[in-house]
């Protein structure tokens, strides 16, 4: 089951049966899998992405990134993986689809923050 014991207990105290808690847990896992698939599909269709990442060597408000690939895996409600650009890459520690035009990834070291990505700079405004 996805939920830790405290959460399971709280859901039980709120009146959910064990079967209902298991169904909610399964729904969370399925939603996580769908989001990971949608994130990978978003990047698979792009040669170039724009972001709101703060980059010291870029004068652009929304820098351009040549995208090589996004490779994700899921475990319960965790989305993890790796985002590879043409000359560098970064671990992914979470993500979500904000709209059809914009996604957000939580990037690990060396970025350590949430970054929005879009196929068009205007979508980030």
- CA dihedral sign, ordered 56, 57, 63, 66: negative
**Residue ranges, the chain, pLDDT below 70:** 55-59
- pLDDT for the residue 119: 96
pLDDT in tens, 32-60: 999 999 999 999 989 999 999 876 556 67
Residue with tokens 């599909």: 41
- pLDDT for the residue 58: 60
Strand partners, 117: 51, 103
Alpha carbon distance 3, 88 (integer Å) = 35
| The Cα angle at residue 113 between residues 77 and 2, in degrees rounded to 5 | 10
- pLDDT for the residue 54: 76
Whether a cis peptide bond, with omega within 30° of 0, leads into 89 is: no
Alpha carbon distance 120, 99 (integer Å) = 13
- pLDDT for the residue 51: 95
Query: Left, alpha or beta for 67 (phi > 0: left; psi -120 to 50: alpha)?
Result: beta
Query: Which tokens sit at 2?
Result: 């996805």
Residues in the chain: 125
- pLDDT for the residue 103: 98
pTM: 0.90
């Amino acid at each position: 089951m996805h939920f830790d014991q405290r959460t399971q207990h709280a859901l039980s105290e709120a009146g959910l049966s064990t079967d209902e808690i298991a169904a909610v847990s399964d729904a969370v896992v399925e939603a996580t899998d769908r989001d990971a698939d949608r994130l990978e599909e978003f990047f698979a269709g792009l040669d170039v992405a724009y972001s709101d990442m703060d980059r010291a060597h870029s004068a652009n408000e929304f820098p351009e990134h040549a995208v090589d690939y996004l490779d994700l895996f899921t475990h319960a409600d965790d989305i993890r993986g790796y985002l590879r650009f043409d000359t560098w890459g970064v671990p992914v520690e979470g993500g979500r689809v904000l709209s059809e035009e914009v996604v957000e990834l939580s990037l690990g070291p060396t970025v350590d923050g949430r970054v929005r990505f879009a196929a068009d700079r205007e979508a980030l405004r």
